[in-house]
Structure 1
Amino acid sequence: MRARMRRALVLRVRTCAVRRGVGGLMPRTLVVVGAGVSGLAAALHLSRVVPAAKVSEIGLESELLPITYNDAATKNRYLFVGGKLCKLPTSIRSVFSKLPPFSQPLAWSLAREPILPRSKEEDESVHAFFTRRFGAEMADYVVDSLCRGIFAGDSRKLSVRSCFPPLFKAERSWGSVLLGMLVGSGAVKWDGAKTEVMERARREGWAQWSLRRGMQSLPEAMEAALRAKGVEIHLHSPVTELRPAADGGCQVLTEGGILAADHVFSALPAGVLGPLLPTAWRPLAQALGKIGSVSVAVVNLEYEGRVLPVTGFGHLVPSGECGEILGVVYDSCSTPQHDRSGPPTTRLTVMMGGSWFTGAFGDPQRVSKERLLERAKETVQEQLGITGQPLTAIVKVHKDCIPQYGVGHWKLLADISEWTVSHRVPLTLLGASYDGVSVNDCIYQAQRGVERLQG
């Protein structure tokens, strides 16, 4: 992961002398290290392309594939518990019904939550938080699975304050998660420019979205937009070191030379950035090294015919059921537009590993693709009853791909921020390592990072 990520793009954006708030002029030469979605979004915003308009501004509006809240892929979600698929409640009536794997209707857990005392802890694990407020079954089945689906992580180690900040803030402000959510406490409100696409999403009730040619077309279009704006993009330029400059700026050392910058935006993972920092910034490097990450194996399978026993987005697997199998996405249900033309087929994605990768498969760099493929085929046979051989199989191991926000992550970020400000470090940290792992989170935080520099 580290060798590969150091080969990320290096972008240099030259701005005009834009006046900041109280702080004077914004730096003129800015370097963005790492050009995943976060780095590209920051560069787009710096070059005056508004990230909020990302889809329309970079020519992808016609490529959008919205999935609404009324779609079966949104309404039908499952857990695999006790050797069978269990549909999660999707209506008020189902909340009052006793449905497997729960021993009683969820309404009982929900009804008692508003009268429970609030915690005075500054942070706690996601599992402890939900056990305390909604009971063990909600924590063991639903929330455990949810953390595996989003973070590929262990809910007993992940921070509720950092992973689910609206829920933490709701209890802190109102003494109840449900009451707080009803009044909108803790919800993140978009404070950027509104666009037609955003209004359409609100009007039509989008739950999520994809792109007709796949999500890879997003960074490709962002790169093309940056080139059109005259942004320098240095391909295949491994960054070897960041070095403070005498003028208060920063030098970015690459195998191709040295880039001088007034300010650097790093979109590298925390664990990759740390070793690149100078000795004088050792406290920062040590803090970054505390932000861990996990590896995930993703196996895409395509089968002949319509072979799924149910229709929906997919199913998640609680860690108590099977540690290394995180879940299965029913791609043909959520984005049928991506299916091949001709006779019908069924596309699935099996997600494996995460916090359980090493224990189940060993070293992510050494495990064979054949072993992962066999485990994925066993999974769809055991959990979905699909016995045939796949027409297509693609196996990828994404090493250290999802950061883990452990208990106390918020304090670590506060310490990092305080140290960089007090030592006048010309560096802004972006990306999934800090404040949200989704694509939307990364784009939003990239915009906020640029705005903070602007003052």
Structure 2
Amino acid sequence: MAAILGGGLGGLSTGYYLLKNNLNNPNKLKIFLLEATNQCGGWIKTIRTKDYLFEQGPRTIRPKGITGLNTLNMIQDLGLSEHVSPIRPDHPAAKNRMIYVNNELHLLPSSLKGVFQKNGPFSKPLIYAVFNDLKQPHLELKDDSIYNFVERRFGREIADYAISPMICGICAGDAKEISVKFLMKTLFEYEQNHGGVMKGLMKSFFKTKVPDDLELTDLANTAKEEKWSVYTIKGGLETFPTTLKTYLEESNVDLHLNTTVEEIEFIDASLVKLKQTDGKIVTANHVYSTIPAHILSKLVKSQHPDLSNCLNEIPFVTVGIVNLYFSTTKPLITPAFGFLIPPIENSPILGVVFDSCCIPDQNGTVLTVMLGGRWFKEKFGQNVTEDRLLNIALGEIKTILKIEDSPAAYNVNILKKCIPQYVIGHYERVEKIRQYIQEKNLPISLVGSSYDGVGVNDVIFSAKMQVEEDCTNS
């Protein structure tokens, strides 16, 4: 029997891949999924009305790369293809992405032509960053912050105005702390192996690319051919985990909501006990932990304090989310994906997503303001109220977007410790954790955003890889 800890996207995906990998198994695998809250889906939550959608967490998914195509394969298999709403390259949400610097919104270049032109707030055309990389000396490092790497290779302006706000948008983190391997592992390896990014890039052109063995569905092929920028699900992204949950239930996966595990006891290499707060005990041959590392840390502390300490070293940040709906029919914003604010601007908000441009079937103007992240406690203290976050968000919207209207509806949510931070040394830390598990022969696998990537695609692919690895080794 396999037990899955957590009913977020990682836990649901783990159940999905366990079922897929045991399709031809005459001894059907019994699967338990234990979720502490009263619903599945984790941070993916949608508030739906007839006029608007408020997304509490992710709202779009990238279709790029093997992980992106893998998600599209799953979506088609679940029967959701007709519900997919793509944003193609010519859409304003694909072309228009902005940053707010020096009290002004600046459109970032979205074409090759734009790289050769001077665009504010950059003092030179971005092509000069290439020349900067070519003249930099070789520097040997095991890891570095993504900020230091970009500043060294491409200049401080690129680090401040392009990479730092992007990191805020992806993981609400500080580029000066986040490992370069988080987003730019290949570029970092070019620098370390070839002395520079452009040198490594040029040498890679002459190498034969190894084709992956991922068979693509019609949906994945369409996304690839049409070069989708991002996509979402009609009716809200929560439709995705909800459909996954239904698939598991129809496949006889035993789902238990409102079930909190307080301790994990490893008996031997093929037996583990999950002790619940209500005194019940679930016994399994293997457990898949998809819960955040800091929560798992508490569950294994009694028996494996060293493992617990390593898990607890992965930091998390809190993000404030303010959704705003303006019912007016007059245009309040220029069509775009939204804007981000570099940390050097010292703003209380990280950025704003223009949901009425990104998400279909919205009436009026819908915006989502993101606050805090790595700087949440520093900006708002320990006990900030939702009303205060709402007033801050409205003030920033009024100042930056010149919106004087009052919202017809709003929602404020404080997502506590919602995004892990892949600080310098993260991948070595995760390797050490998994090595400990292997050496002690513990029947547990780690899945999800704490370890293998924070995006929707990363979490799903993490589940796929862990399940396939376990099935191969069993």
| TM-score above 0.5 | yes
Q: In the alignment, does 2:294 pair up with 1:271? A: yes
Identity of aligned residues (%): 33
Mapped contact 2:325–2:365 kept (Cα < 8 A)? yes
Partner SS state of residue 110, structure 2 = coil
- Give the conservation status (yes or no) of the 8 Å contact 1:38–1:267: yes
**What corresponds to 1:207 in structure 2?**
229
Task: Work out whether 1:347 is the aligned partner of 2:366.
Answer: yes
Q: Identify the residue that residue 36 of structure 2 maps to in structure 1.
A: none
- What letter matches 2:3 in structure 1? V
1:156-195 paired onto structure 2 within 5 Å: 156-178=176-198, 180=200, 183=204, 191-195=213-217
Distance 2:213 2:293 in 1: 27
Partner of 2:34: none
Q: Structure 1 unaligned runs (5+)?
A: 1-28
| Mapped pair 1:32 → 2:51 | no
- 1:299 matched to 2:316? The reply is no
Residue 441 of structure 1 and its aligned partner are, at CA, apart by 0.6
Question: Any idea what the Cα deviations from partners look like across 1:311-357, whole Å, max 9, x if unmatched?
Answer: 2111000011134310011111112x1303xxxx1111110010111
**Take 1:181 and 1:57, find their aligned partners in 2: how far apart are those partners?**
36
Are the equivalent residues in 1 in contact too, given 2:146–2:177 (CA < 8 A)? Answer: yes
Aligned partner of 1:334 among 333, 358, 362: 358
SS of alignment partner, residue 443 of structure 1: helix
1:191 and 1:38 mapped to 2: Cα distance? Answer: 23
Identify the range of structure 1 (94-103 vs 139-148) with the bigger mean alpha-carbon deviation.
94-103
Residue 304 (structure 2) aligns with: 281
CA distance in 1, matches of 2:380, 2:258: 31
Aligned to 1:375: 392
2-side partners of 1:195 and 1:308: how far apart? 39
1:113 positional shift: 1.6
Indicate yes or no: 2:62 matched with 1:42: no
Q: 1:449 to 1:127 in 2, by over 3 A?
A: same
- 1:166-201 CA deviation, whole Å, 9 max, x = no partner? 33233334433345457479x998644421211111
Please give the alpha-carbon distance, in whole angstroms, between the structure 2 residues aligned to 1:189 and 1:300.
42
Partner residue, 2:50:
none
Q: 1:19-418 alignment to 2 at 5 Å?
A: 29-48=1-20, 53-178=73-198, 180=200, 183=204, 191-246=213-268, 248-256=270-278, 257-303=280-326, 304-335=328-359, 337-340=360-363, 345-363=364-382, 366-418=383-435
- 1:5 alignment partner in structure 2: none
Provide the rounded CA distance (Å) in 2 between the counterparts of 1:359 and 1:419.
Answer: 35
Is structure 2 residue 458 aligned with structure 1 residue 435?
Answer: no
Change (3 A) 1:36 1:124: same
Distance change (3 Å), C-alpha of 1:307 and 1:156? same
Q: Secondary structure at the match of 1:388?
A: coil
How far is 1:158 from its partner?
Answer: 0.9
Output the amino acid matched with 1:205: K
Q: How many Å separate the matches in 2 of 1:308 and 1:378? A: 15
Mark the CA change 1:59 to 1:288 in structure 2 (over 3 Å): closer, same or farther.
Answer: same
What secondary structure does 2:174 align onto? coil
- Which amino acid is 1:308 matched to? L
- Per-residue CA deviation, residues 187-243 of structure 1 (Å, 9 max, x unaligned), is 998644421211111011111111001111111100000011111111111111110
Structure 2 letter corresponding to 1:40: L
Aligned residue runs from structure 1 range 11-22, under 5 A:
none
SS at match of 1:140: helix
Give the letter aligned to residue 351 of structure 2: G
Question: How far, CA to CA, are the matches of 2:13 and 2:465 in structure 1?
Answer: 11
Contact 1:41 1:51 in 2 (8 A): no
Greater mean alpha carbon deviation, residues 192-201 or residues 396-405: 192-201
How far did residue 384 of structure 1 move?
Answer: 0.8
Tell me how far 1:246 sits from its aligned partner.
Answer: 4.3
Question: Post-superposition shift, 1:52?
Answer: 6.0
Counterpart-to-counterpart distance in 2, 1:347 and 1:356: 25
Q: What is the identity, as a one-letter code, of the residue corresponding to 1:347? A: V
The residue number in structure 2 matching 1:18 is none
Q: Distance in 2 between matches of 1:164 and 1:121?
A: 14
Distance 1:179 1:438 in 2: 29
- After superposition, give the CA deviation of every residue in 1:74-110 in whole Å (9 maximum; x if it has no partner): 1111110000100111222221222110111111112
After superposition, the Cα gap between the structure-2 partners of 1:114 and 1:435, relative to the gap in structure 1 and judged at 3 Å, is: farther
Q: What is the CA–CA distance in structure 2 between the aligned matches of 1:429 and 1:398, rounded to whole Å? A: 22
- How many Å apart are 1:309 and its aligned residue? 4.2
Code of the aligned partner of 2:255: I
Alignment-mate amino acid for residue 55 of structure 1 = I
Q: Which range moved further: 285-294 or 168-177?
A: 168-177
Deviation at 1:59, TM superposition (A): 2.1
The amino acid that maps onto 2:334 is: V
| C-alpha distance in 1 between matches for 2:211 and 2:347 | 35
The count of aligned residue pairs is 420
3-state SS, counterpart of residue 310 of structure 2: helix
Tell me the distance in 1 between the aligned counterparts of 2:158 and 2:373. Answer: 21
Question: Is residue 452 from structure 1 mapped to residue 469 from structure 2 by the alignment?
Answer: yes
Letter of the structure 2 residue corresponding to residue 288 of structure 1:
L
CA distance in 1, matches of 2:330, 2:133: 42
Q: Distance in 2 between matches of 1:188 and 1:240?
A: 45
